[in-house]
Structure 1
């Protein structure tokens, strides 16, 4: 491949994915060439598994790209060199050697990182070496993946089973290049958000295998916090302890933070065990009772002491929290009562588990900031969950009152004197969407930079493997913008479409993403679909019907599913039929009532979901079942559905 042409290609790819706050243009003759003499060296002054893992990842992917398996050495500094103030590094070196490094190669990177956030990283190189390092061991791993992206790799999705076929694993893509030439680099990257999260949430389709793959994808997309329920809904079905032994090593070798908790004072002080601390009709214990509060603190502290892998604990009240009137009166507001619990627990954690950070929640009915005397401490995190916002417009819009409310709410917390970290729990993949194709690049592209201007320092969304293909672009774009809010979203979308589907199909797939975004924005003006707003519903239905015709035509042209484009278009075309069925149910129920047609659509959707629940396009769950069942599902159906996913994806 011609050097100049490759240099131009690499720079174009960098621009498309928003890489680099400082990139020097390549100079003739200064490319680093991956050949048989090159080697990889990792160095760490601390007992962290991340640099060695980063080196192994670099070796593996460079072999896939260039066909050359480079040797990997554990590095040592030259005799007499003073160790730089770095937590580790990976160095790609030209010429054979046995792992000796000069501190001078690392000092410039250390100077660039001085005073920067922990997750910032540096890529610095010429024709002799490329240094990859960061302010934290995990950001050295980020630097490695960033270099691979500059060489053409794309980490589209976790390697879930439905992406893997006999022809290959289509969760990722690489460009084969031999020899691989990497232009001169001088890059400092800094994250826009301190906490970049992925939530497991209800975990209908998560299994040991899918959780491992999610963690792997998170690191490749520079996410740094996995959020897992202690015990979702108290049902014993989705619990950190069920995955702990398997996942903790995977998190540690990538340096990913673990956050555990979720809705659940009742998990730590259950009413069945402590009935005296509760009042009939209220699911929050009587927090003004010192004995109840002490019992809650004792049980949380004991758990955290026995789980040192946990970095953040979510001290959230139950979902749909009902506080006793006496407590609301005693503290002056629900927000003050909730802050009272958090402040007391925070004092206990400082003494017993000082490495654990506490997070609370600004969520109904405690969305307002506490009074100044009750305000959370500056070491706290507070999560905002705009669950009932509109996706018809960005959060900064003014047409929908709930968007205006949430926009102002974040500002009011800052005005009220909260000095801690504000994180946003966003719903860019939502259970109430029941796996409809609601893909929102324009909304996401406007929202996330706006959240940062409001002062948010954390952002996360939840995930389900079972409909990842449906929301693949949402997941990927949220991760990219969480790292870099200055990302050129149009260029990113173009890069995604061209690399995922090929240049020839790009116009059709851009039309697909345009139409499903328009349909989703028409439908989800609030927390549930606007089926009762006939003009908006009819517009959404027309878009989904057009999408089904478009993708059927595209699938006929792409042929077999032995390529990434073929597989994805086949799945998306099948999924478009599902969207049409859903529209039929609403249309023949509300707009043009026809009971036989509704019954036929119900039956077809039930068959469809059972046939395709493992294909990456629909999640079988209660939210979806309510679209096609004429009576509520059995009480034990949630357990049965989760068991089916865990049997298929162990």
Structure 2
């Protein structure tokens, strides 16, 4: 168990309700298991297996095999210790004489502390349960003597262990990000634990259950282990990290490769990389001869250019054997250049030329790697028959400009109809894997509270009806708490597309916030179902104001630290959202608009490490307005954000722009700091100003811990002979041990 779970005492009634939430999400029938039956009603024979009683171990944890088996056994031991306070013996057992086909590892709980063995008959029983099931299927077979946890493929033993822990009352709400302050999970506490007889086999609805890092503003080497940990606990199987997002060298696979390979490897998770940009491997600056048509894509019709691209990708993958899927995506542009379209007719046809060639070469040279293409923007519709995609290629369908007022297949939602038609066309023409790339958490939503739960459920049903093979969405640790339930729901539907989303929400609310807070939290989720792209600022502001009131009402109904912490964060998010809406409601070019932008900027910076908002490019544009824009691929802004999340603390100044009159009165500036890793820090700051600008005091010390930031007020003035124009005032921040933090700049507008 990588991260210390939160331990609480749960009443029996609460335990039953909470078990229904996450066990149900994984497709297990929690109540039936307690009664000793399977999900289909067949009786599981035997009495309960005693795990611990009276402060003593009554069972042993056994394991065998590769993949996740060893890690799964350690997880089971450590969580059972967290529940009971007792550390069970952990032992490896010899390889079985005849493991069922497809089983690469297993874990078992065996009565007694002297070890034990797993009988051939029990293994044969597991083989019968798993016969004909897809990869990742798992089975739990237990009686008073032995409880076997195994399945098909490397991940299955770990999935089985987490399913058993859910039966014991553990709840895996979120990754162990610092902003949760330990309240990412619920672990019940009991001195006496006995597990009932169980016979249950569970199968995934889809084979591609993914989580994307995408732009990666807040994904760091420290945040990736808890994220992959949560993925495994929620039955996801593939993590996608870009090779080099936008080719800027900011969010790049090799920067996190070691931690990804380690953490994914011990859980058996797949690693996928690539992403937008043939030019990441064949940059125009280095290979101008391959861009005679001008770009944005290389001259696909030039055999030398195509061979060069494919060769570089193959070399990259050969040196990184942990990668199992490569995303062969074109640059993120609206259209390909005319010479390419003249040659192939459509962008989808041209994309097929690249994808199919890469797939063919990899089939010969690296057969363990699959190629993925994206159906997106100008390539959203499938290619013509003569350019059909290789059937072994994965197609990721990305309905970028859809809306979320209704599900993708709803004919009443006009904006979605073309995408539904295109998706059906892909399913008709492509015999290989077809999966959804979804935007249930969008960068352009600026961390607004958006929870279109009915739409998500409708999408899952529509896509299951078409026989799709998976779903993925991207995330940012920086605003994970805002989208906690959305992430959990999507993961649950990826495993079981028939899941009742209403029941899932009900179980989540009872488990996360307690019975008394459920009515208020239901109102909150109903009020935040709106798509910000299709509703005006006035309607959104009203909804967010009412949502904040519902959260405050819920906060008055809870008594324990876990729901109080989450509700505190959600209230903060609602306040950021309301500040965002005040920008949209303010009259143009006036003091009210300037004040709204300043307030929004300050709130985003003060809360950027609290798990509820992200200072991404769209947020940056929002607080700067049209006169202070920066390009979307501004590497400096992106790197500063990434470095802030990677650091232990950070600082900024409010406001970001000071208007100074030469020889005039001093203007107030607040120097602030926040705790990024929630361990507490003393932050030292120093201001460096241009000639003629005076900052008093010019240095200071701030103490931060958790959500409690600190601020120091300073006075800034311009001398009578100061040069007019805009000039930077730089604030440098560092810790007592000399660790340098990201600097912040204030623009001094001297008049």
**Unaligned ranges ≥5, structure 1:** 532-536
**Structure 1 residue matching 2:276: 3-state secondary structure:** coil
Alignment map for 1:387-426 (pairs within 5 Å): 387-416=400-429, 418-426=430-438
Q: Choose 293-302 or 450-459, whichever is displaced more.
A: 450-459
Cross-structure match for 2:358: 345
- Give the CA deviation at 1:556: 5.3
1:43 pairs with 2:64:
yes
Cross-structure match for 1:539: 539
Q: Is the 8 A contact 2:290 2:299 kept in 1?
A: yes
- Give the CA deviation at 1:402: 2.7
Q: Choose 68-77 or 260-269, whichever is displaced more.
A: 68-77
Cross-structure match for 1:301: 314
Cross-structure match for 1:121: 138
- Give the CA deviation at 1:246: 1.9
Q: Choose 317-326 or 2-11, whichever is displaced more.
A: 2-11
Which of 580, 583, 586 does residue 584 from structure 2 map onto?
A: 586
- Give the CA deviation at 1:10: 8.1
CA 1:77–1:400 in structure 2 vs 1: closer, same or farther (change >3 Å)?
Answer: closer
Partners of 1:430 and 1:320 in 2: CA distance: 18
**Structure 2 residue matching 1:599: 3-state secondary structure:** helix
Cross-structure match for 1:152: 169
Q: Is the 8 A contact 2:21 2:511 kept in 1?
A: no
Q: Is the 8 A contact 2:335 2:347 kept in 1?
A: no
Cross-structure match for 1:471: 483
CA 1:600–1:558 in structure 2 vs 1: closer, same or farther (change >3 Å)?
Answer: farther
CA 1:7–1:95 in structure 2 vs 1: closer, same or farther (change >3 Å)?
Answer: farther
Greater Rg, structure 1 or structure 2? 2
Partners of 1:10 and 1:541 in 2: CA distance: 33
Alignment map for 1:178-257 (pairs within 5 Å): 178-257=191-270
Cross-structure match for 2:93: 75
- Give the CA deviation at 1:118: 1.0
Q: Is the 8 A contact 1:425 1:459 kept in 2?
A: yes
Cross-structure match for 2:104: 87
Q: Is the 8 A contact 1:7 1:183 kept in 2?
A: no
CA 1:336–1:26 in structure 2 vs 1: closer, same or farther (change >3 Å)?
Answer: same
Cross-structure match for 1:452: 464
TM-score relative to the length of structure 2: 0.79
Partners of 1:646 and 1:229 in 2: CA distance: 18
CA 1:238–1:102 in structure 2 vs 1: closer, same or farther (change >3 Å)?
Answer: same
Which of 121, 127, 130 does residue 110 from structure 1 map onto?
A: 127
Cross-structure match for 1:258: 271
Cross-structure match for 2:563: 565
Cross-structure match for 2:446: 434
- Give the CA deviation at 1:567: 0.8
1:374 pairs with 2:387:
yes
Cross-structure match for 1:640: 640
CA 1:286–1:68 in structure 2 vs 1: closer, same or farther (change >3 Å)?
Answer: same
Partners of 1:242 and 1:516 in 2: CA distance: 36
CA 1:513–1:2 in structure 2 vs 1: closer, same or farther (change >3 Å)?
Answer: closer
Q: Is the 8 A contact 2:110 2:116 kept in 1?
A: no
1:331 pairs with 2:348:
no
Partners of 1:2 and 1:201 in 2: CA distance: 38
- Give the CA deviation at 1:8: 6.2
CA 1:101–1:15 in structure 2 vs 1: closer, same or farther (change >3 Å)?
Answer: closer
Structure ranking higher in helix proportion: 1
Partners of 1:465 and 1:200 in 2: CA distance: 9
Which whole-Å deviations, capped at 9, do the CAs of 1:422-464 have from their partners, x for residues lacking one? 0110001100100000012221122122212122102100010
Q: Is the 8 A contact 2:377 2:400 kept in 1?
A: no
**Structure 2 residue matching 1:412: 3-state secondary structure:** helix
Cross-structure match for 1:272: 285
CA 1:76–1:606 in structure 2 vs 1: closer, same or farther (change >3 Å)?
Answer: same
Which of 293, 299, 303 does residue 290 from structure 1 map onto?
A: 303
- Give the CA deviation at 1:16: 4.1
Cross-structure match for 1:534: none
Q: Is the 8 A contact 2:135 2:152 kept in 1?
A: yes
CA 1:99–1:250 in structure 2 vs 1: closer, same or farther (change >3 Å)?
Answer: farther
Q: Is the 8 A contact 1:14 1:150 kept in 2?
A: no
Which whole-Å deviations, capped at 9, do the CAs of 1:495-550 have from their partners, x for residues lacking one? 21111111121211111111111xx23x333xxxx43xxxxx43322111112233
Alignment map for 1:494-643 (pairs within 5 Å): 494-517=506-529, 520-521=530-531, 523-525=532-534, 530-531=535-536, 537-555=537-555, 558=558, 563-589=561-587, 595-630=590-625, 631-633=628-630, 635=634, 636-643=636-643
Partners of 1:565 and 1:40 in 2: CA distance: 33
Which whole-Å deviations, capped at 9, do the CAs of 1:298-356 have from their partners, x for residues lacking one? 11111111111110011100001542322222223221111011111111111111110
Structure ranking higher in strand proportion: 2
CA 1:120–1:74 in structure 2 vs 1: closer, same or farther (change >3 Å)?
Answer: same
Q: Is the 8 A contact 1:121 1:132 kept in 2?
A: yes
Which whole-Å deviations, capped at 9, do the CAs of 1:214-239 have from their partners, x for residues lacking one? 11111011100000100000000111
CA 1:333–1:5 in structure 2 vs 1: closer, same or farther (change >3 Å)?
Answer: closer
Which of 47, 58, 82 does residue 76 from structure 2 map onto?
A: 58
- Give the CA deviation at 1:12: 4.2
User: Which of structures 1 and 2 has the larger relative contact order (alpha carbons within 8 angstroms, sep 6+)?
Assistant: 1
CA 1:8–1:495 in structure 2 vs 1: closer, same or farther (change >3 Å)?
Answer: closer
Partners of 2:247 and 2:302 in 1: CA distance: 23
Q: Is the 8 A contact 1:434 1:619 kept in 2?
A: yes
CA 1:221–1:18 in structure 2 vs 1: closer, same or farther (change >3 Å)?
Answer: closer
- Give the CA deviation at 1:374: 1.3
Q: Choose 312-321 or 173-182, whichever is displaced more.
A: 173-182
CA 1:411–1:287 in structure 2 vs 1: closer, same or farther (change >3 Å)?
Answer: same
Cross-structure match for 2:709: none
**Structure 1 residue matching 2:223: 3-state secondary structure:** helix
CA 1:181–1:601 in structure 2 vs 1: closer, same or farther (change >3 Å)?
Answer: same
Which whole-Å deviations, capped at 9, do the CAs of 1:359-413 have from their partners, x for residues lacking one? 1111111122112221112111011101110101111212222311111111112
Partners of 1:361 and 1:373 in 2: CA distance: 18
Partners of 2:367 and 2:300 in 1: CA distance: 23
Aligned length: 623
Q: Is the 8 A contact 1:204 1:642 kept in 2?
A: yes
CA 1:571–1:83 in structure 2 vs 1: closer, same or farther (change >3 Å)?
Answer: closer
CA 1:425–1:221 in structure 2 vs 1: closer, same or farther (change >3 Å)?
Answer: same
**Unaligned ranges ≥5, structure 2:** 1-8, 30-37, 649-675, 678-751
CA 1:453–1:339 in structure 2 vs 1: closer, same or farther (change >3 Å)?
Answer: same
CA 1:67–1:284 in structure 2 vs 1: closer, same or farther (change >3 Å)?
Answer: same
Which whole-Å deviations, capped at 9, do the CAs of 1:24-60 have from their partners, x for residues lacking one? 477797222222221110112xxx2510100000011
Q: Is the 8 A contact 1:40 1:73 kept in 2?
A: yes
**Structure 1 residue matching 2:310: 3-state secondary structure:** helix
- Give the CA deviation at 1:554: 3.9
Partners of 2:42 and 2:428 in 1: CA distance: 44
**Structure 2 residue matching 1:123: 3-state secondary structure:** strand
Partners of 2:446 and 2:10 in 1: CA distance: 49
Partners of 2:13 and 2:591 in 1: CA distance: 61
- Give the CA deviation at 1:580: 1.2
